[in-house]
Structure 1
Amino acid sequence: MTASTGATEEPATVTVRGRAVRCRVSGQGPPVVLLHGIGRTLADFADQHDLLARDHRVVSLDLAGHGGSAPLDEPHTLPALARATADCLDALGVQRPARLVGNSLGGAVAMRLAVDDPNRVASLVLVNSAGFGAEVTIALRLLALRPLGRLLLRPSRAVTRHTERALFHDRRHVTEARLAAALAAARRPQAARVMLELVGSLGTVRGVAPGWRGELLDAVARLDVPVLVVWGDRDLILPASHLDAARARLPRARTHLFTDTGHLPQIERATEFHRLVTDFWADQPTRG
């Protein structure tokens, strides 16, 4: 396992167990790890990376098989993504317990990593996270129907624009730069296969499967790890009603609902999000 461990202001590629991983590392201080959602890239946390790097060592990465990170040699599942993330942190020399921040699928990856290796994790911030309910946008549920899923995943500008518009309540965030980046990610050779493997492992056309969700949330509830769960009230991907489920399943967790906000509050409410998260961390004792 080899990697360049110096700070990188721009995304760089490191080698982890013989596999290329695209990541960005900046700043000094307590480690923070930012994990994006399904079919997305580390660009979804660009604003937060810059803000948090003032006081933290921040690691953003493309999850295995996403963006500039090579796919795994095994099926892409939640446990496999968590293991690959842990391997990347080892390669980057992140030895202290890290503050994990995960959006959508990234929230479920963060929870899985915390359960599988609690000593790696200082706290969890779960942002419109997968795992709290069965309801999910029909676009993702239809991907579970093959070969329809493969047809729907054929890269096109029209589909990309529709997807980006569904992510934001404030459509001003659907910029030409974001559309171009999303289309480029969708055109990666492994993108459709990775998406279909993940969707198939997490749910069916009826929605997100209850088995893995129940097991994971029960395990997270038993952890001695501070948790903050936040949501956007206009989320069209995972409904804001999942925040009520989070309160029920993780009664010790803090929660926050952003108004007039979609699936990516770290972008739509960047300044408020940063303040909320850093205030949450300030109330927690430092681990490690």
Structure 2
Amino acid sequence: MTTPTFVTVAGRPTRVRIEGDPANSPVVLLHGIGRSLEDWGPQYARMRAHHRVIALDLAGSGFSARSPEPTTLEVLARGVLETLDVLGELRPVHLMGNSLGGAVAMQVVALAPDRVTSLVLVNSAGFGAEVALPLRLLAVPLLGELAVRRTTRGSARMAELLNFADSTLVTPARIDHALAIAEQPDASTVLLETVRALATFRRISHGWRERLIAATAEHARPTLAVWGDQDRVLPAHHLNAVRRAFPHADTELFAGIGHMPQIECPEDFANRVLAFLRDVERATPLTRARSTTRGAPRRRKAAATA
């Protein structure tokens, strides 16, 4: 197992984890809002045999320092590109994002399409107005500030429970990790900035979603979108919007799975993603979109710790 380390990106410490043969094609993993690269934990061993795997804590998230600018999708996407530059990874990458990380991945395509080979969107933000109430509450002035002023063990547990259909995955280790992230000096400020750039109390804002999807479609890349049908953060019917926005995309719906299929059904997730990446590398463009739904909640043993 490779331990995360820090690199200096535009003068700020950025936390990264890198695995696999540097000669292999690169896969870049992007986490969701207020999260960290630990959200890809079960996938490192499954992907490093075939790819150079690069994961990072987005600017101001996890244990990475924030950007001096207010946090927006473009700021986060530029941070991804700057991190790849520092790491010397200038080849086009397979870009994989969960939740907010999916929207950041699409923003990277909009900013630098020549740097992206393919997209894997995992329960991605950007495809619908609905989002869980706790995130919408953060958009409310004063109420949001009160909500993030102090993260308790109970509130961290409630936030973790939103992510999984299987509540046994909300382990003491995951809660400890969430509390450690919340204690970072700019964590609450960046969380509020991000939510308020993208949403109101009522819904995820429409304007940025429309612009982002149009910009991504303009530079169409082979795309796989996957979702868990028990997602309580971003509902699974958002996958239908993916199909409308990107008719060329492959899609997969995992039954009995929540917001983080990469953790909750790690083997099925890896098999689906690695097959897609093989297809992309064998044939460009991917000639046929495939849409499937797993009919039974087949859970391989999921990772029990962060």
Fold similarity call, TM over 0.5: yes
Aligned to 1:270: 266
Aligned to 1:49: 44
- Distance in 1 (alpha carbons) for counterparts of 2:222 and 2:137: 35
CA contact (8 A) 1:230 1:256 kept: yes
- Distance in 2 (alpha carbons) for counterparts of 1:13 and 1:210: 35
- Distance in 2 (alpha carbons) for counterparts of 1:219 and 1:230: 21
Aligned to 2:3: 10
- Distance in 1 (alpha carbons) for counterparts of 2:143 and 2:45: 39
- Distance in 2 (alpha carbons) for counterparts of 1:188 and 1:9: 23
2:167 counterpart of 1:174: no
1:190 to 143, 168, 186: 186
Aligned to 2:14: 21
- Distance in 2 (alpha carbons) for counterparts of 1:47 and 1:36: 13
Aligned to 1:91: 86
2:161 to 165, 168, 177: 165
Aligned to 1:233: 229
- Distance in 2 (alpha carbons) for counterparts of 1:201 and 1:125: 23
Aligned to 2:251: 255
- Distance in 2 (alpha carbons) for counterparts of 1:54 and 1:282: 13
Aligned to 1:3: none
Alignment of 1:101-140 (within 5 A): 101-140=96-135
After the TM superposition, list the runs of 4 or more consecutive aligned residues in structure 1 that deviate by more than 6 angstroms. none
**Number of residue pairs the alignment of both structures matches:** 280
Aligned to 2:32: 37
**CA-to-partner distance for each residue in 1:211-267, whole Å, 9 max, x for gaps?**
010011112222231000000000000000101111111111111000000000000
Per the alignment, in what secondary structure is the counterpart of residue 4 of structure 2? Answer: strand
Q: Tell me the TM-score normalised to structure 1 length.
A: 0.95
What are the ranges of 5 or more consecutive residues in structure 1 without an aligned counterpart?
Answer: 1-7
- Distance in 1 (alpha carbons) for counterparts of 2:30 and 2:79: 12
| Superposed displacement of residue 9, structure 1 | 1.2
CA contact (8 A) 1:111 1:216 kept: yes
| Superposed displacement of residue 50, structure 1 | 2.1
CA contact (8 A) 1:34 1:60 kept: yes
AA at the equivalent of 2:6: T
What are the ranges of 5 or more consecutive residues in structure 2 without an aligned counterpart?
Answer: 285-306
Q: Tell me the TM-score normalised to structure 2 length.
A: 0.90
- Distance in 1 (alpha carbons) for counterparts of 2:75 and 2:7: 18
Aligned to 2:294: none
Per the alignment, in what secondary structure is the counterpart of residue 84 of structure 1? Answer: helix
CA contact (8 A) 1:203 1:209 kept: yes
**CA-to-partner distance for each residue in 1:177-200, whole Å, 9 max, x for gaps?**
111001110111101100010011
2:236 counterpart of 1:243: no
| Superposed displacement of residue 285, structure 1 | 3.2
| Superposed displacement of residue 68, structure 1 | 1.1
Aligned to 2:140: 145
Per the alignment, in what secondary structure is the counterpart of residue 276 of structure 2? Answer: helix
| Superposed displacement of residue 46, structure 1 | 1.2
